[in-house]
């Protein structure tokens, strides 16, 4: 009997059942997963950066990016790497994706937040969503549908699939979009992908400005690129488009700067 109990206890505590940066956390009855990284030495409630990977990426791949973990260390925030349930996120108008499937991603993100909150002391006022390429498309979708859940959004080199929504269904938040001027994978004006088409970033920018009731944008300095066009009003919404000379490339320095700008405006 003691041998059986010892074996069961050993099974219950085996590292394979752990959940964190190196092993998937399972939610929604085993249908979806994510991973998270918690910097050492953090006390009290902590904010979190929710990262959405690009096409055919994964949470595992994101956690292998040491620069993302170093960014979380510097920010003093948890890093949550979300995982699509296939090659790509379930977004409206993407190739071969029915529009109603997008609701599944909102359910998924809510479930991730609740599961993370059960594992760490989470400051729900300091949640940031970000993502690159297809993950940037996911981030814009969250900004439009979950603006009251996150303090801000940093979409990077990705926007909605066309057509861009006429408006958003959730309250306005803070959005800083980052994009390379010479991006040919996801150009600022978008491009066809089979029967679908990537959306136009400027259309997205204007739609969100109208949604948030923001004034005409003004140019501001972008220390990690060329310049930003920034629009801020009297309400909670704020919007910036920050561009750099380059193509479809990713920089955690730019993302970290954007997150700091969002947190400084709270």
Query: What pLDDT does residue 266 have?
Result: 87
Across residues 123-131, what is the average pLDDT? 98
Predicted pLDDT at 99: 57
The pLDDT score that the predictor gives to residue 4 is 41
What digits encode the pLDDT tens for the residues 195-249?
A: 999 999 999 999 999 999 999 999 999 999 999 999 998 888 999 999 999 999 9
pLDDT for position 225: 96
pLDDT at position 5 over 80: no
Q: Using an 8 Å Cβ cutoff, are 233 and 215 in contact?
A: yes
SS3 content of the chain, % helix, strand, coil (to 5): 30, 25, 45
The domain ranges of the chain are 20-264
Phi, psi of 210 (to 5 degrees): -65, -40
Residue 13: per-residue pLDDT: 37
pLDDT score of 238: 97
**pLDDT tens string 149-175:** 999 999 999 999 999 999 999 999 999
- Cβ contact 106:76 at 8 Å: no
User: Which is more confident, 147 or 6?
Assistant: 147
Long-range contacts of 211-217 (CB under 8 A, 24+ apart): 211/144, 211/167, 211/168, 211/172, 211/237, 212/172, 212/237, 212/238, 212/239, 213/172, 213/237, 214/238, 214/239, 217/241
What's domain 20-264's superfamily in CATH?
Alpha/Beta hydrolase fold, catalytic domain (3.40.50.1820)
Confidence class for position 17, pLDDT limits 50, 70, 90: very low
Percent pLDDT > 90 in the chain is 83
Indicate whether 15 pLDDT > 60: no
In this prediction, residues 107-116 reach a mean pLDDT of 98
pLDDT: which is higher, 95 or 75: 75
With a cut of 90, say whether residue 85 has pLDDT above it. Answer: no
Plot region of 234 (φ>0 → left; ψ -120 to 50 → alpha; else → beta): alpha
**Would you state the pLDDT for residue 18?**
75
pTM assigned to the model: 0.92
pLDDT, residue 9, reads 39
């Amino acid at each position: 009997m003691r041998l059986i109990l010892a074996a069961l206890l050993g099974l219950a505590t085996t590292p394979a059942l752990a959940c964190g940066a190196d092993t998937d956390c399972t939610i929604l009855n085993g249908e979806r997963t994510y991973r998270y990284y918690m910097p050492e030495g953090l006390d009290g409630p902590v904010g979190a950066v929710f990262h959405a990977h690009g096409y055919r990426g994964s949470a595992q791949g994101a956690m292998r990016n040491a620069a993302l973990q170093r960014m979380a260390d510097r920010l003093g925030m948890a890093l949550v790497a979300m995982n699509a349930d296939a090659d790509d996120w379930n977004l409206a108008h993407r190739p071969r994706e029915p529009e109603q499937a997008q609701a599944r991603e909102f359910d998924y993100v809510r479930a991730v937040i609740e599961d993370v909150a059960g594992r760490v002391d989470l400051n729900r006022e300091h949640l940031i969503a970000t993502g690159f390429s297809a993950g940037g498309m996911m981030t814009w979708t969250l900004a439009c549908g979950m603006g009251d859940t996150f303090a801000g959004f940093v979409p990077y080199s990705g926007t909605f699939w066309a057509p861009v929504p006429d408006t958003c269904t959730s309250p306005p938040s803070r959005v800083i979009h980052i994009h390379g001027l010479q991006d040919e994978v996801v150009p600022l004006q978008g491009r066809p992908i089979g029967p679908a088409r990537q959306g136009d970033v400027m259309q997205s920018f204007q739609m969100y400005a109208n949604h948030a009731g923001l004034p005409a944008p003004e140019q501001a300095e972008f220390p990690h690129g060329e310049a930003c066009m920034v629009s801020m009003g009297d309400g909670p919404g704020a919007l910036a488009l920050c561009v750099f000379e380059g193509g479809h490339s990713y920089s955690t320095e730019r993302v970290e700067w954007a997150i700091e700008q969002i947190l400084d405006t709270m």
